């Protein structure tokens, strides 16, 4: 079992840096969590550095603006790194190649970022002539399922195209409702035998960038043993921390809430009570950790100080 804690203050003295997930930890897609922001702010006030690390396919400047729109506080973090930032670097490496885009038409942040850096946006093309695929998410976020993309994925696989996934998450909680992410489409392509290149957690590039930002905030190199990764997803946050040699704190009321908490209220009521959490089911947590084959250093119902 991970250590069960009531607040971040119980662990804070052991770390110089917090790498905190965003969705499910500091906001739910509808509102920022006051208690979580206060916890991160207090950690910074004690001399620690906080880098928000997110699998959002948008560049970090857009993530920062979205966080502020939800009521996010600037004093809760030193820097942000997103899966979108890593994706921009990957797109820059493929300058001159054309891509087939899977995602909402209004998701233009990555293209605008590349255009600002390179002078021109990546060239888009149909599957039949594209050099690779960029997946930022679902075209219709609220209605589609991963299976809806099988026909397109088969055509992409037949051409042997690399599949660049800008968000490795399978699902995300948006205002209390779980919705699919780009990672769910990438997973189906990988099952076909296609080559998938992942930009975010749990893969190394996003953590390397996060550590660079943390080192800059601290004014020196931070030891990995002094880094605490906080997140609500075992597959990305906790696995990524383990593979990078970081300690981890699992927030149990995020995407695994229904599995780990004795919430008996209707989901609409839970959404209204975004920062309230019913009792953690310790037996369920034990079984969950054993099944995942991953052991977080500690677990907390919601991020508070």
Alpha-carbon dihedral sign for residues 191, 23, 90, 246: negative
Q: What is the pLDDT of residues 35-66, one digit of tens each?
A: 999 999 999 999 999 999 999 999 999 999 99
- Does the residue 152 lie in any domain? yes
Q: Which of 198, 223, 239 is the last residue of a domain?
A: 198
Q: Which are the contacts of 212, defined by CB distance < 8 A and separation ≥ 6?
A: none
Verify that 228 and 151 share a domain, yes or no: no
pLDDT at 176: 63
Whether residues 156 and 189 fall in one domain: yes
Q: In terms of residues, how long is the chain?
A: 305
Confidence at residue 10, expressed as pLDDT on a 0 to 100 scale = 97
Last residue of a domain, one of 165, 198, 231: 198
Residue 305 lies in a domain: no
Q: Quote the pLDDT of residue 271.
A: 46
- Same domain, yes or no: 116 and 171: yes
- Burial of residue 74 (CB within 10 Å: 0-12, 13-18, 19+) is exposed
Same domain, 41 and 99: no
Instruction: Read off the pLDDT band of 178 (50, 70, 90).
Output: confident
Question: Are residues 126 and 26 both part of a single domain?
Answer: no
**Domain limits at 151?**
86-198
Say if residue 235's pLDDT is above 50. Answer: yes
Average pLDDT, the chain: 91
pLDDT for residue 265 is more than 60:
no
Q: What percent of the chain has pLDDT over 70?
A: 93
3-class secondary-structure state, position 261: strand
Residues 263, 295 within the same domain: yes
In a domain, 257, yes or no: yes
Q: Based on the fold, state whether residues 80 and 228 are members of the same structural domain.
A: yes
pLDDT at 30: 86
Among the ranges given (87-96, 119-128, 279-288), the one the predictor scored with the smallest mean pLDDT = 279-288
- pLDDT in the model for residue 266: 42
The predicted model gives 185-194 an average pLDDT of 97
Residue 183 lies in a domain: yes
Do 140 and 271 lie in one domain? The reply is no
Q: Let me know if residue 171 belongs to a domain.
A: yes
Distance, CA of 136 to CA of 34 (rounded, Å): 29
Query: 179 falls in which pLDDT band (50, 70, 90)?
Result: confident
Q: Is residue 11 assigned to a domain? A: yes
Say which CATH number the domain at 266 has.
Answer: 3.40.50.1000
Report the predicted TM-score, pTM, of the whole model to 2 decimal places: 0.88
Are 93 and 60 members of one domain? no
Report which of 269, 266, 277, 272 is spatially closest to residue 304, judged by C-alpha positions.
277
Q: How many domains, in total, are found in the chain?
A: 2
């Amino acid at each position: 079992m991970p250590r069960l804690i009531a607040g971040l203050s119980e662990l804070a003295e052991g770390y110089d840096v917090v790498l905190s997930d965003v969705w499910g930890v500091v906001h739910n897609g509808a509102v920022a969590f006051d208690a979580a922001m206060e916890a991160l702010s207090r950690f910074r006030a004690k001399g620690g550095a906080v880098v928000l690390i997110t699998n959002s396919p948008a560049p970090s400047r857009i993530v920062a603006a979205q966080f502020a729109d939800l009521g996010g506080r600037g004093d809760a973090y030193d820097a942000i790194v997103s899966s979108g930032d890593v994706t921009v670097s990957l797109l820059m490496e493929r300058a001159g190649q054309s891509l087939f885009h899977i995602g909402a038409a209004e998701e233009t942040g990555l293209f605008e970022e590349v255009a600002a850096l390179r002078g021109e946006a990546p060239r888009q093309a149909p599957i039949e002539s594209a050099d690779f695929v960029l997946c930022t998410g679902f075209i219709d976020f609220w209605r589609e399922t991963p299976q809806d993309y099988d026909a397109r994925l088969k055509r992409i696989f037949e051409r042997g195209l690399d599949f660049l996934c800008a968000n490795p998450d399978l699902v995300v909680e948006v205002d209390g409702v779980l919705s699919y992410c780009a990672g769910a489409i990438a997973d189906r392509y990988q099952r076909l035998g296609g080559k998938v290149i992942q930009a975010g957690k749990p893969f190394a590039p996003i953590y390397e960038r996060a550590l660079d930002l943390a080192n800059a905030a601290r004014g020196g190199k931070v030891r990995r043993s002094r880094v605490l990764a906080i997140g609500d997803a075992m597959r990305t946050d906790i696995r990524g921390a383990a593979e990078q040699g970081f300690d981890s704190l699992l927030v149990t009321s995020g995407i695994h809430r229904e599995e780990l908490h004795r919430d008996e209220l209707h989901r609409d009521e839970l959404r209204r009570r975004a920062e309230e959490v019913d009792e953690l089911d310790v037996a369920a947590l034990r079984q969950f950790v054993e099944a995942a084959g991953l052991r977080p250093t500690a677990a907390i119902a919601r991020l508070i100080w």
